[in-house]
Each structure stands twice: as structure tokens, then as C-alpha cells.
Amino acid sequence: MTTPPPATGNLPLPRWAYVPGEPEKSSADYETLAQITALVPPRFGGYVPARHPALRYGLMLNDHGYFWEAQEILEAVWAAAPQGGRERILLRACILIATANLRLRMQKAHVAARLLGEALGELEALGARGAGGDGFADSFPVAALAALIKAKLAQPMLTKADGVAFAAAGRT
């Protein structure tokens, strides 16, 4: 058993939100991201704990507009998640959502809609696998997130303001 990492409240936010193609910041704040990815173990045993600091940080980054950074952190957690586990499915959906949000910021609504559709497919696949455990996928409001995405996709055209926040699905 490993010692739990520190709480997310002590983790620094990136100094800026990286958006590919924007000239203001030519690269991401890799220094800050490295501090967070260092918290991710090489492999999670059995499941990804819902309260793991890197996971919670990645979700928080998305909700605060750091979409590229969120996808980077969530991908690190995904890579350490057990193969074939429910958490990998939910993490993939979360990564797709963060990427869709980034595409909305870049004014690529059609790409964002496709990515949100893929995320919805992952969430539906997760729902079909049932529940019953102590991991991230067991405590996350998957149905509420799926409903939120469906409502976004029902709109005629997505805009920057249509990003999906995990907190909006009831995540605290």
C-alpha cells in the first residue's frame, strides 16, 4: 500500500492555459504539470481511487478552463489505470470532454461535437458494464454527465460557452 499523495488544494495551477496555435504562450507550463504527474503511480492496483489528487486535479483543471492541461493529467492517470477496468472507460470519456472543450475554445465546433459524441459513447459503454466497487467510475455521476452531453449535442451549434464542466454533472 502506498502513502496517499497530498490534497489537491496544495497543488499549484498552471501559470497559463495553453491553447495550441495561440501566439501568447508558445508552450504549456510543463513544470507545473510535471509536479502533478509525479503523483501518479506507475500502476493503480485494482481501480483508480476517486479521491486521488492527480485525478481530482485533472477534473478541476477542466472546470477552470485549463483544457489542454486537464487532458495531459487525465491521460497520465488513464495510462496507470488497470487494463480493461471501468475507470479507463470513464477516464477516456473525461479526456475526450477536455479535448472537446479545447476545440470549442479554438472555435472548432464540429470537431468538439464529434468528440463529445465519442465521450457519450464511452459513458454509455460504461453504464452497460454495471457498477460495484470503490473506484472513480463507481462514485462519479455518469448518468448526469451523459445527460449534460446529450443536452449540449441537441443544440444546433456549439459555441465557446458550451463547454462541459464535470462539476455541472454534480461532481464535488
Q: What is the pLDDT of residue 134?
A: 75
Q: What is the pLDDT of residue 1?
A: 30
Segments of the chain scoring below 70 in pLDDT:
1-9, 24-25, 128-132, 171-172
pTM of the model: 0.90
C-alpha closest to that of 114 among 99, 126, 127: 99
User: Please, which residues have CB within 8 angstroms of residue 67's CB and are 6 or more apart in sequence?
Assistant: 17, 61, 98, 99, 101, 102, 105, 163
Q: What is the pLDDT of residue 21?
A: 83
Give the chain's count of helices (H) and strands (E): 7, 0
Helix or strand or coil: residue 43?
coil
Distance separating alpha carbons of residues 145 and 46, to the nearest angstrom: 24
Q: What is the pLDDT of residue 23?
A: 74
Q: What is the pLDDT of residue 103?
A: 97
